[in-house]
Amino acid sequence: MSRTFATYGAVSALVAVLAGAFGAHMLRTRLPGSQLAAFETGARYQMYHALALFVVAWAATQWPTQLVRLSGSLFIAGTVLFSGSLYVLALTGVAWWGAVTPVGGVLLIAGWAALALGMWRR
Protein backbone atom coordinates (compact mmCIF):
# COMPACT_ATOMS: atom_id res chain seq x y z
CA MET A 1 0.00 0.00 0.00
CA SER A 2 2.83 2.41 0.75
CA ARG A 3 4.19 1.93 -2.79
CA THR A 4 0.75 2.78 -4.18
CA PHE A 5 0.50 6.04 -2.27
CA ALA A 6 4.09 6.99 -3.14
CA THR A 7 3.35 6.33 -6.82
CA TYR A 8 0.17 8.42 -6.70
CA GLY A 9 2.17 11.13 -4.96
CA ALA A 10 4.85 11.14 -7.65
CA VAL A 11 2.31 11.23 -10.49
CA SER A 12 0.31 13.96 -8.76
CA ALA A 13 3.47 16.03 -8.20
CA LEU A 14 4.33 15.61 -11.88
CA VAL A 15 0.87 16.83 -12.90
CA ALA A 16 1.10 19.74 -10.45
CA VAL A 17 4.42 20.88 -11.95
CA LEU A 18 3.00 20.56 -15.46
CA ALA A 19 -0.11 22.51 -14.44
CA GLY A 20 1.99 25.21 -12.79
CA ALA A 21 4.17 25.58 -15.88
CA PHE A 22 1.11 25.59 -18.15
CA GLY A 23 -0.48 28.29 -16.02
CA ALA A 24 2.65 30.41 -15.90
CA HIS A 25 3.57 30.16 -19.57
CA MET A 26 0.38 29.52 -21.50
CA LEU A 27 -2.45 30.96 -19.44
CA ARG A 28 -0.94 34.12 -17.93
CA THR A 29 -1.88 36.25 -20.92
CA ARG A 30 -5.06 34.36 -21.81
CA LEU A 31 -7.04 34.26 -18.56
CA PRO A 32 -8.43 37.04 -16.40
CA GLY A 33 -6.68 37.43 -13.04
CA SER A 34 -9.33 35.66 -10.98
CA GLN A 35 -9.37 32.60 -13.25
CA LEU A 36 -5.57 32.46 -13.31
CA ALA A 37 -5.51 32.70 -9.51
CA ALA A 38 -7.96 29.80 -9.28
CA PHE A 39 -5.78 27.70 -11.60
CA GLU A 40 -2.66 28.50 -9.58
CA THR A 41 -4.45 27.61 -6.33
CA GLY A 42 -5.37 24.24 -7.82
CA ALA A 43 -1.74 23.56 -8.79
CA ARG A 44 -0.44 24.66 -5.39
CA TYR A 45 -2.85 22.50 -3.42
CA GLN A 46 -2.22 19.56 -5.73
CA MET A 47 1.50 19.80 -4.95
CA TYR A 48 0.87 20.08 -1.21
CA HIS A 49 -1.21 16.93 -1.28
CA ALA A 50 1.15 15.09 -3.61
CA LEU A 51 3.77 15.58 -0.89
CA ALA A 52 1.20 14.52 1.70
CA LEU A 53 0.85 11.22 -0.16
CA PHE A 54 4.57 10.60 0.42
CA VAL A 55 3.93 11.19 4.12
CA VAL A 56 1.07 8.69 3.96
CA ALA A 57 3.31 6.17 2.20
CA TRP A 58 5.89 6.52 4.97
CA ALA A 59 3.26 6.55 7.76
CA ALA A 60 1.72 3.36 6.38
CA THR A 61 5.02 1.59 7.07
CA GLN A 62 5.25 2.98 10.62
CA TRP A 63 1.60 2.85 11.67
CA PRO A 64 -0.21 0.48 9.29
CA THR A 65 -3.72 1.40 10.38
CA GLN A 66 -6.94 1.62 8.42
CA LEU A 67 -7.11 5.36 9.15
CA VAL A 68 -3.66 6.00 7.67
CA ARG A 69 -4.67 4.14 4.51
CA LEU A 70 -7.98 6.01 4.44
CA SER A 71 -6.12 9.33 4.63
CA GLY A 72 -4.30 8.54 1.39
CA SER A 73 -7.55 7.74 -0.39
CA LEU A 74 -9.10 10.95 0.94
CA PHE A 75 -6.11 12.97 -0.28
CA ILE A 76 -6.41 11.45 -3.75
CA ALA A 77 -10.16 12.02 -4.02
CA GLY A 78 -9.89 15.48 -2.47
CA THR A 79 -7.16 16.52 -4.89
CA VAL A 80 -9.16 15.35 -7.89
CA LEU A 81 -12.24 17.27 -6.76
CA PHE A 82 -10.52 20.36 -5.31
CA SER A 83 -7.76 20.96 -7.84
CA GLY A 84 -9.65 19.41 -10.72
CA SER A 85 -12.65 21.65 -10.22
CA LEU A 86 -10.42 24.72 -10.02
CA TYR A 87 -8.64 23.74 -13.24
CA VAL A 88 -11.95 23.26 -15.05
CA LEU A 89 -13.41 26.45 -13.57
CA ALA A 90 -10.37 28.47 -14.68
CA LEU A 91 -10.24 26.98 -18.17
CA THR A 92 -13.96 27.11 -18.95
CA GLY A 93 -15.22 30.00 -16.84
CA VAL A 94 -18.27 27.87 -15.94
CA ALA A 95 -19.04 29.13 -12.45
CA TRP A 96 -20.90 26.09 -11.10
CA TRP A 97 -17.60 24.15 -10.99
CA GLY A 98 -16.84 26.35 -7.99
CA ALA A 99 -19.52 24.42 -6.09
CA VAL A 100 -17.44 21.23 -6.40
CA THR A 101 -14.31 22.78 -4.90
CA PRO A 102 -15.52 22.82 -1.25
CA VAL A 103 -16.39 19.11 -1.46
CA GLY A 104 -12.77 18.44 -2.40
CA GLY A 105 -11.63 20.72 0.40
CA VAL A 106 -13.67 18.78 2.96
CA LEU A 107 -12.10 15.54 1.73
CA LEU A 108 -8.62 17.04 2.09
CA ILE A 109 -9.41 18.17 5.65
CA ALA A 110 -10.79 14.71 6.42
CA GLY A 111 -7.58 13.21 5.04
CA TRP A 112 -5.47 15.22 7.47
CA ALA A 113 -7.75 14.27 10.36
CA ALA A 114 -7.60 10.58 9.40
CA LEU A 115 -3.80 10.73 9.12
CA ALA A 116 -3.44 12.36 12.52
CA LEU A 117 -5.81 9.91 14.19
CA GLY A 118 -4.24 6.93 12.45
CA MET A 119 -0.77 7.87 13.64
CA TRP A 120 -2.00 8.72 17.14
CA ARG A 121 -3.92 5.49 17.67
CA ARG A 122 -1.28 3.18 16.18
Q: Specify the pTM.
A: 0.95
- Tens digit of pLDDT for each residue in 70-112? 999 999 999 999 999 999 999 999 999 999 999 999 999 999 9
C-alpha of 98 from chain center: 16
Distances (CA, A) of 13 to 16, 45, 51, 79, 103: 5, 10, 7, 11, 21
52 Cβ contact list (under 8 Å, min separation 6): 9, 75, 111, 112, 115
Q: Where are the alpha helices (DSSP H) in the chain?
A: 2-22, 33-62, 66-92, 101-121
Separation CA 77–CA 50 (nearest Å): 12
pLDDT for the residue numbered 42: 97
Separation CA 45–CA 83 (nearest Å): 7
pLDDT for the residue numbered 1: 76
- Tens digit of pLDDT for each residue in 107-119? 999 999 999 999 9
Residue 41 has pLDDT above 70, yes or no: yes
pLDDT for the residue numbered 122: 67
Whole domain around residue 116: which residue ranges? 2-121
Tell me what the mean pLDDT of segment 18-25 comes to.
95
How many domains is the chain partitioned into structurally? 1
